[in-house]
A and B are shown apart, each in its own frame.
Chain A
Amino acid sequence: MTTVKTVCPYCGTGCNMYVHTGSAHIAKVTPDLEHPVSQGELCLKGYYGFNHVADRRRLTTPLRRQGNDFIPISWDSALDEVAGKFSAVRRDHGPDAFALFASARCTNEDNYVAQKFARAVMGTNNVDHCARLCHSSTVSGLAQAFGSGAMTNSIPEIGEVSDLIFIIGSNTAEQHPLIARHVIRAQQRGAKLVVADPRQTEMAEKADLWIRVPPGHNIPLVNGMLHVVIKEGLHDKEFIDAHSVGFDDVVHAVESFSPEAVERMSGIPAGQIVHAARMYAGARASVILFAMGITQFSHGVGNVASLANLAVVTGQIGRPGAGVCPLRGQGNVQGACDLGALPNVYPAYQSVTDPALRAHYESAWGVTLPAKVGLKITEVPAAIDRGEVRTLMIFGENPLMSDPDLGALRKEIQKLDFLVVMDLFMTETARFANIVLPAACWAEKDGTYTNTERRVQRGRAVVPAPGEARLDWAVFSALAARMGYAGMNYGGAQEIWDEVRRVVPKTFGGISYARLDKLPGLSWPCPSEDHPGTPILHKDGHFTMASGKAQLTPVLFDPNVLPDAKTKGFTHAITAHVVEHADTAYPFILTTGRRVYNYHTGTMTRKSPLLEQLAPEERIELNPADAKELGVADGDFIKLSTRRGKSIARAWVTERVAPKNVFSTFHYWEANCNELTNAQSLDPICGIPEYKVSAAKVEKSSAAEAKSWRDWIQGEYRVAVERATNAVLAGRVQK
């Protein structure tokens, strides 16, 4: 048996683990006792989520679609065809007719090479990845406020130092169990916990104060807290004067958000707002943890900006245990952003529109680079519709499960001239591809991953890749070579990383593989080999903005569209509202998320018999009062519909959701909440869709209706997936 230390492939907590292999397969996973974040623990996905690695449905050879069938082909002909089509689209329709979706599941090296391919070889900035759908509002909102869009503190500080933890819009116990553990440790030390969430999550249950926020009403809560802070003189005047600009505008903006006014607007009890404000501002070190419950709104940036205001105004930032912590979902979503898999920035968030920065990358990569900001993921479907994007490449992402309004997306994706998907399995997305490429997975590759606290960690290959599956970066290198670009010929992951260190020395220069082999990761920025890394950003109020000061931004909110009169007198205020409201036809509010046993679209976790046994199907949360009214018992089938689509699954009758709210996930193709979500309600700044609020209808259903719905949706893509898998397996048998 061999044992290799690597990083858990699932959430952004970045726990380290030992993978033990017997013969050629993973036998078991054990925790790393020394790791500062996971400290000898793992959650069930870390322990038991590895079966997909050796699953025999793994793709092992490139495939070409012919009608509804997939034919195994050689790598040479696959690469020739892909390179040929890419060159043709660039020649005939211009570089911007190509778009690339990169992957937060892949390494820093994979993402660096991928975005370099899009920019230097294809000549377009049309490269983005699923951060668009999860934390793009954080990246924009925090960068505009603090100069950096990342988590300001390290995870262990939560357990060791913070004495007030304010969790808003994060289901920490389920999505980052090993961060929740630090919150529990803090509570054992006597720290207080305030949770704001529409659902009674595990964290809400453990909170000293739980505020049930109606979906979409975070801004009135936070503005209300700011109102109380300012009125009661709990703000940190010295810190505000010395380290921020724009305070007066914020004072002005929150004036109308008295606790009573907020109660009238949102139903949040005024007393709770006052209590939360006093607790947050009064603690020695307060930390804010937030996730999709803040970001996934048409006003996601507004939500983030209001939290940034709260932290700066109270001086709760830039010290141990005090800061603003976006909890990133995917194992390397932080890294994919850092390495420039975004349409507006190069690695290390260097703007593509800045001529000096562009010149730097032009000389590093030896090409002329495009100056135009590229398309965001959420803008691509419409661009396909308009015939502007004709060729799309996707790796390590399954948008046909994870993106909003799947019914529409299934139609749009079929309008492409050419789609290439590189993945571990024949996914719901790959089913529509012209060419499917087999990729090596986390357990088969070397590289680095960056967890949510900016800790760059070393991932290591444990087992050989199955069949002809290849490393993602190697495929981009091969394509580049075929397309006549010589600058992407790498000998291994380390060589790529060393290029990254040379190109962005201020951020990554000091993070060498040699150091990573000895240390439990290093937090960027880390400019030199003797630099210890930077666990805490904006230390002592020295923000990473050009001015060194935090930029406060007034955030205005009205549940319906904000009347113009209210925005008068503000020059750069963010205005926010909620796009969909319950009405007589759709009287419920659907809010969406994930559960602990599954990971996103389930391509990996649903291959684990153990996890699948614990959570075999979707359960839509429904309040007992509504269940009674509908005549639905726990476990009965219900039909959920919105103006976009429908889904049918069993009801979980529980007080976890408020009356007239329902909650569903995107783990199960059989009943996916993204059939229902809205792709049009985008944040105007970052383009994130409003996943968290849709007006919905709930009806009692039956097992028979559930079955016929499932058969239909299976016809839409699943049948093809199974058939394609058969082709793959048959192809392997023939060889």
Chain B
Amino acid sequence: MNRFVIAEPKLCIGCYTCEAACVDVHQEVGLQAHPRLVVTQTAQGTMPVQCRHCEDAPCAKVCPVGAITEADGMIQLNESTCIGCKMCALACPFGAIEPHGSSPLSQQMPYEPYVESAGAIIGEPLAPSAISAPLSSLLDWSAGVRTVAVKCDLCYFREDGPKCIQVCPTKALRIVDSESLSASISAKRRQTVAKTSQVLSGASAAENE
């Protein structure tokens, strides 16, 4: 079974730490600097939404260039082969895939991205900082990034697993794999037996009265 990360809306306080961490770790390894989970605040509740790594993934089915594949118990998206056709984003029933890269010229941006003006001050490099692995932090954050689909990759490149789970201060995020899923299913089955027998024995007791 494919593993996936899911949030518990009762615990999520909408603090966005998971989103920030997601951008950070992906940027560090040279992947798209864009959050793969999106904290979504509604009147009904708040939680980050991310890929469910479906067993029969519709995104993989519609990808014309085979950039999305199932391997190692997850749905992987190869950012290098992706042509940015956005079909996967249409197909995903959860809104877990988002195209990301340069914005089209026609998009109205009355506010210059802050870093642009910083970069424009004089052409000296930004202070070295461990978070910018790519060559130029200017390219990294604003113009010039090829638009591709981005989605949760379970931080496959990190030994300690998804970073979002680690940083969430309320531990609202957890990984669901076949073990934890079957444990929860069998626990619920036991509860069902207990509840059913309670109901039935209650009913028979009433009958006997």
Q: Which A residues have a C-beta under 8 Å from some C-beta of B?
A: 22-23, 25-28, 41-44, 47-48, 51, 54-57, 173-174, 177-178, 180-181, 184, 187, 200, 202-203, 205-206, 596-597, 606, 609-614, 616-617, 637, 654-656, 670, 703-704, 706-707, 710, 722, 725-726, 729-730, 733
Contact = CB atoms under 8 A, between A and B. Distances in A.
A614 B111 contact: no
A173 B169 CA distance: 11
A629 B24 CA distance: 40
A613 B22 CA distance: 12
Contacts of A27: 129-130
Contacts of A613: 23, 33, 141
A670 to B, nearest CB: 5
A41 B18 CA distance: 12
A264 B130 CA distance: 58
A729 B23 contact: no
Interface in B128-179: 128-131, 137, 140-141, 167, 169-170
A611 B118 contact: no
Contact of B110 (A57, A178, A703): A703
Contacts of A25: 127-130
Contacts of B87: none
Contacts of B118: 55, 57
Nearest to A652: B41
Interface of B: 10-17, 19-21, 23-24, 33, 35, 41, 43, 45-46, 108, 110-111, 113-115, 117-118, 121-122, 124, 126-131, 137, 140-141, 167, 169-170
B10 A181 contact: no
Interface centre among B10, B12, B131 (most CB of A within 10 A): B131
Contacts of A706: 110
Contact of B21 (A47, A173, A184, A206): A47
A321 B175 CA distance: 34
Task: Identify the interface centre among A54, A202, A670, A704: most chain B CB within 10 Å of its CB.
Answer: A202
A621 to B, nearest CB: 11
14 contacts: A25-B130, A42-B17, A44-B17, A48-B20, A51-B129, A55-B118, A178-B169, A205-B45, A609-B137, A610-B131, A614-B23, A656-B43, A710-B110, A729-B121
A47 B129 contact: no
Contacts of A26: 129
Nearest to B108: A703
Contact of B111 (A180, A205, A617, A725): A617
Given A177-B15, A610-B24, A729-B121, A206 B10 contact: yes
A55 B132 CA distance: 13
B114 A614 contact: no
B117 A612 contact: no
A85 to B, nearest CB: 31
Nearest to A702: B108
Contacts of A205: 43, 45-46
Contacts of B114: 606, 612, 616
A-B interface, 8 closest residue pairs, ranked by CB to CB distance from nearest? A703-B108, A41-B169, A173-B13, A27-B130, A54-B127, A707-B110, A44-B20, A706-B110
Contacts of A614: 16, 19-20, 23, 35
Given A48-B20, A206-B10, A616 B113 contact: yes
Given A44-B21, A617-B111, 6 more contacts: A43-B15, A173-B13, A177-B15, A180-B15, A181-B13, A206-B13
A677 B117 CA distance: 29
Contacts of B43: 200, 205, 654-656
Contact of B169 (A55, A181, A611, A617): A181
A269 to B, nearest CB: 18
Among B21, B33, B46, B118, find the residue whose CB has the most chain A CB atoms closer than 10 A: B118
B124 A56 contact: yes
Count chain A CB atoms within 10 A of each CB in B11, B16, B23, B110 and give the residue with the most.
B110
Nearest to B13: A173
A616 B33 CA distance: 15
B13 A202 contact: yes
A222 to B, nearest CB: 25
B15 A174 contact: yes
A656 B41 CA distance: 9
Residue of B17, B108, B169 with most chain A CB atoms under a 10 A cut-off: B169
Contacts of B15: 43-44, 173-174, 177, 180, 596
Contacts of A43: 15, 17, 169
B183 to A, nearest CB: 20
A729 B13 contact: no
Contacts of B41: 202, 654, 656
Nearest to B115: A609
A184 B168 CA distance: 13
A616 B169 contact: no
